[in-house]
A = this chain, B = another copy of it.
């Protein structure tokens, strides 16, 4: 650290003491990478002490996306998170949301920064960021996450930095920090184009504390892909190859892959396939299997809003000639750029996202169990599904040992409409819905994607609708949620 900054160094406890009741805190962090790791615990402690004295204490928490337990979990368990946006996936946060203890605003990841800059949602009063370095003139070098951090740093009145020496200088140079103007074009024409700076510039007077840490992200690697995920991956890769043969898909379009086991399996399968052409990614999260693609020397470039540095540091990658040069292949961007509609549409991204449930007419629920209970949030799936060249929604056909069908007559919550969904894939098969009217879509989804156990029930619903309803989208509103009602009443969507 530069000697001029020494006066700002504080302990985590001292920094936490600067945080007031009602504060709106914008933190760094996106999908478990680059979030603050020590101040939240001290803040929770301080809140507990204040509450013990009868004082009120709560804060609003803005992030990039999901973040580690040291921040999300700690603050949720302390019961001081009044409001949360724009994405979360921590069990304790989710529980508080569904108990009505935390208000959650579920937003498209590309929308949140602009909504904040415009003042459409309140600006953060305080930014807390995990950083590799900071200079006396206010250059902040971020760790493994672009996220919403540049906008939080720009709009917050005060800044606290967790200066994290765990990374050394290995993450410096990865970032392309660019905050779009209301009117400017975004001059990205290829997944790896850089248009910004390697750091975030702030007014150094806003920095009120620097807390020294040396801590890795607590991200855990994904489990090995299961049979279902591998089957889904195989259907997708076969389909892409078919589309290329038909001349409908250029070779050089980049991929986006949602987060999770299925998405990870698709990329992992690409890494293993000897016939796989080199791959560019214009995605949100540079997840585990991207390193496998890199190791196999098939990675052109990976652009994302975050990367797990702990993966890059793993022994198996250190010893690989391609993987040890990982830095030259990765670009980290603010999430409004990684997920930007303009760029996604221009690059012609192939998008792959996971559905929680889908209905026979091709609507997707990404967020709610039984229409009410929030799981994680929509994340960036809407940014990509709407604007991609070719989009997949993937899900195993059943969950909970077959008790839940991922294909239902009508989704209990809609995050992606029929207008934005093209290809559905389960371990049962693939349904290409492009250019099909609703009844044809339904027949194909039931035939190709539904589990055989549920096919007759879905078929029955469709045929009943065709007999009794208007024939564009023949729903029967008195039966539309029978699957969900059985699940609520009996613990299973199955009949009898």
- Write the residues of chain A forming the contact surface with B, with a CB cutoff of 8 angstroms: 83, 97-100, 103-108, 111, 114-115, 118-122, 182-185, 187, 189, 246-248, 250, 253, 341-342, 345-348, 363, 368-374, 378, 382, 386-387, 389-390, 410, 412-420, 422, 434-437, 439-440, 465-466, 469-475, 477-478, 480-481, 484-485, 488
Contacts and interface: CB of A to CB of B under 8 A. Distances in A.
19 contacts: A99-B471, A103-B439, A105-B436, A106-B419, A108-B420, A120-B248, A341-B345, A341-B387, A369-B470, A372-B465, A372-B470, A372-B474, A373-B472, A374-B470, A378-B417, A412-B475, A415-B419, A416-B417, A478-B481
A284 to B, nearest CB: 16
B473 A368 contact: yes
A419 B374 contact: no
A372 B419 contact: no
Contacts of A390: 120
Closest 10 CB pairs of A and B: A100-B471, A121-B435, A414-B414, A373-B470, A103-B437, A374-B472, A342-B342, A371-B475, A372-B469, A98-B470
Contacts of A342: 341-342, 345-346
A414 B368 contact: no
A383 B422 CA distance: 17
A473 B436 contact: no
Contacts of A368: 472-473
List the number of copies, as a whole number. Answer: 2
A436 B389 CA distance: 32
A374 B390 CA distance: 26
B374 A435 contact: no
Contacts of A247: 119
A121 B434 contact: yes
Contacts of A440: 103
A183 B477 contact: no
A480 B371 contact: yes
B346 A183 contact: yes
Contacts of A120: 248, 390, 422, 434-435
Contact of A473 (B253, B387, B413, B471): B413
Given A342-B342, A417-B414, A370 B485 contact: no
